[in-house]
Amino acid sequence: MNSKEEREKWDGNLQNAMGEFQSLRSSNESVRTRFGAKKEVDHDHHDPLEENKLGLWLSQNKFENFFERFKKEGFKCPTQLKSLSESDLKELGFSKMADRKDFLVAVKQIATNKTVLSEPPLPTHDLKRSSSIFFSIQQDMSTRRNEVPTARRQPGKFFLETVPEAPIDKEIVFECLCAYAKDKGLDQMILDDFSRKFEDFQNLGYSSNEALALSVRWLYTCDSWVYQQTNMLLRDDTVSLQGLAPYMNCLMKTYEQFKDDQSKYFVGTVYRRTRLSPKSISFYQPGLHFVWSSFTSTSAHFDEDSLFGDTLFVINIPTRFRWYALRMDDVSVCEHEKEVLLLPNVAFSVVSVTPGSSSKYANTETVIETQISYVCVT
What integer is the mean pLDDT of 149-157? 88
pLDDT band at 60 (very low <50, low <70, confident <90, very high): low
Is the CB of residue 78 less than 8 Å from the CB of residue 55? Answer: no
φ/ψ of 232, rounded to 5, equals -65, -45
φ/ψ of 374, rounded to 5, equals -165, 170
Is the CB of residue 295 less than 8 Å from the CB of residue 220? Answer: yes
**pLDDT single digits (tens) 216-242:** 999 999 889 999 999 999 999 999 999
What integer is the mean pLDDT of 69-80? 73
- pLDDT of 116 above 50: no
Question: In this prediction, what percent of the chain has a pLDDT beyond 70?
Answer: 71
HSE, side-chain direction, 13 A CA sphere, residue 197? 30
Cβ neighbours around 178 below 10 Å, total: 25
User: Among candidates 293, 294, 249, 256, which has minimal Cα distance to 152?
Assistant: 293
**pLDDT single digits (tens) 313-363:** 999 999 999 999 999 988 876 666 789 999 999 999 999 999 876 678 888
What integer is the mean pLDDT of 130-151? 52
pLDDT at 125: 36
- CA–CA separation, 112 and 104 (whole Å): 13
Amino acid at 255: Y
User: Among candidates 254, 60, 239, which has minimal Cα distance to 161?
Assistant: 239
What integer is the mean pLDDT of 63-90? 74
What integer is the mean pLDDT of 48-74? 66
DSSP assignment of 252-282 equals HTGGGG-TT-GGGB--EEEEEEE---HHHHH
**pLDDT single digits (tens) 283-300:** 999 999 999 999 999 999
Is the CB of residue 181 less than 8 Å from the CB of residue 20? Answer: no
Cβ neighbours around 185 below 10 Å, total: 7
Q: Decide: residue 241, CB within 10 A, 0-12 exposed, 13-18 middle, 19+ buried.
A: buried
- pLDDT of 184 above 50: yes
Amino acid at 116: V
pLDDT at 75: 76
Crossing angle for the helix pair 170-184 and 245-252, to the nearest 10 degrees: 140
Q: To the nearest whole number, what is the mean pLDDT of the chain?
A: 77
pLDDT at 12: 58
pLDDT band at 192 (very low <50, low <70, confident <90, very high): very high
- CA–CA separation, 159 and 375 (whole Å): 14
Q: Looking at the chain, which runs of residues are DSSP E strands?
A: 151-152, 268-274, 289-292, 296-299, 311-317, 325-327, 339-342, 346-355, 366-375
Is the CB of residue 373 less than 8 Å from the CB of residue 283? Answer: no
pLDDT at 202: 95
pLDDT at 105: 76
Q: Decide: residue 370, CB within 10 A, 0-12 exposed, 13-18 middle, 19+ buried.
A: buried
What integer is the mean pLDDT of 119-123? 34
